[in-house]
Amino acid sequence: MNGLRKLNPRVLIIAAVILSLICAGLIYKYLKDKEAEAQRAAQLAKRTTFRSVVVTTKDIEPGVTITADMVKVERMEVSNTLPDAAISTTELIGKEVHSTIAAGRQVPRKEIVKDLINAFVANIPKDKRAITLRIDDPVGFVAGFVKPGTRVDIISYNTKEPGRPASGKMVLQDVLVLAMGSKDIKASKDVEEEEQKNNAAAAANLVTVAVTPRDAVMLRVVSQESKLTLVLRPKRPSDDYVVGTRYEGQRVAMPMPMAGMQAPQGNLQPPVQVIRGTNVGR
């Protein structure tokens, strides 16, 4: 204390001023750092409020190859986006999805089929084989309601010919549909536009189904002898199978019928029977 008393009051004042300035500088720097940190946090929050995600422009069904016009990128608030939503259309174009995605929905990455070949093969039941058939009449797709995953009955039929009636029969029942159309038809610079359209139209009549090895052979032979059409089965599980489905229409008269003879009339088989387990009904 005696030492301080001996100091010149002017020196003490100068020292106090210097210490005050140092403290003020430290406080100012601290406040500026806090302000800068708050601004960086606000900018970061502003940047992460919105996020780019892929949404569909139309309904996408399983088994359909995704094209550029089916998806687009939109910016959405982070709170409204799915955590695993695709963020680029390149993740989707040329691929398929596992389940139906409605128009305007985000596409979760878990729904994207990574490997089309392995994914398709994995859908074939282990006791079945996949076979592709041509359905000659577009009506055979039941107004477009036949889709991968549905179950159908397959009918073979022949049109009228001279001396032969139109006829048809159900050759297989409760068949699983694996795919529709063909994914292998691609545009080529060397192929004319009209030819591409014809190829696409031809592919639209293809359906791939899962059947037993024996039925696969039978279907291939039947498809060479007659035309095929499909009948859509109910969605609910059913053990109903019908028998006696063959039908023959009215015979067409021969070009030069013999005198005194008439063309045979249509031949209807006995009433259709329905088999439910071990019960048979009409």
pLDDT single digits (tens) 10-37? 777 888 888 888 888 888 888 888 888 8
- Looking at residue 239, its pLDDT comes to 64
Of 41 and 261, the structure prediction assigns the larger pLDDT to 41
- Looking at residue 39, its pLDDT comes to 83
Structure tokens at 221: 């032979």
The Cα 199–Cα 186 span in angstroms is 9
Q: Assess whether pLDDT exceeds 70 at residue 256.
A: no
| C-alpha dihedral (186, 189, 193, 197), degrees to nearest 10 | -10
The predicted-structure confidence for 52-63, as pLDDT tens digits, reads as follows: 999 999 999 887
Residue 271: pLDDT band with limits 50, 70, 90: low
Ordered DSSP codes for 152-191: EEEEEEE--BBTB--EEEEEEEEEEEEEES-S-----TTS
Q: Assess whether pLDDT exceeds 90 at residue 169.
A: no
Q: Assess whether pLDDT exceeds 60 at residue 133.
A: yes
Cβ-based burial of 2 (10 A; exposed 0-12, middle 13-18, buried ≥19): exposed
- Nearest one of 212, 211, 274, 215 to 241, comparing CA atoms: 274
- Looking at residue 34, its pLDDT comes to 86
Query: What does the mean pLDDT of the chain come to?
Result: 76
Of 138 and 215, the structure prediction assigns the larger pLDDT to 215
∠ Cα 57 62 64 (to 5°): 65
Of 146 and 108, the structure prediction assigns the larger pLDDT to 108
- Among 8-22, 194-208, 212-226, the minimum mean pLDDT is found in 194-208
Structure tokens at 101: 């995605």
With tokens 């014809």, the residue in question is 198
Q: Average of pLDDT values for 160-182?
A: 80
- Looking at residue 225, its pLDDT comes to 87
- Looking at residue 268, its pLDDT comes to 47
The Cα 256–Cα 158 span in angstroms is 22
Is the separation of the CB atoms in 110 and 125 below 8 Å?
no
Strand partners of residue 54? 73
The Cα 38–Cα 33 span in angstroms is 9
Q: Where are the alpha helices (DSSP H) in the chain?
A: 2-6, 9-48, 116-122, 193-203, 213-225
Contacts of 134 (CB under 8 A, 6+ apart): 205, 206, 223, 228
Structure tokens at 84: 């695993």
Backbone φ and ψ of 145, nearest 5°: -85, -10
What SS3 class is residue 230?
strand
- Nearest one of 133, 131, 135, 90 to 109, comparing CA atoms: 90
- Looking at residue 193, its pLDDT comes to 47
Ordered DSSP codes for 100-125: -B-TT-B-BGGGEES-HHHHHHHTS-
With tokens 């309601």, the residue in question is 145
Q: Assess whether pLDDT exceeds 50 at residue 136.
A: yes
User: DSSP state, 149?
Assistant: T
Structure tokens at 169: 């029969």
Q: Assess whether pLDDT exceeds 80 at residue 274.
A: no
Q: Average of pLDDT values for 87-112?
A: 89
Q: Is the pTM of this model over 0.75?
A: no
- Looking at residue 86, its pLDDT comes to 92
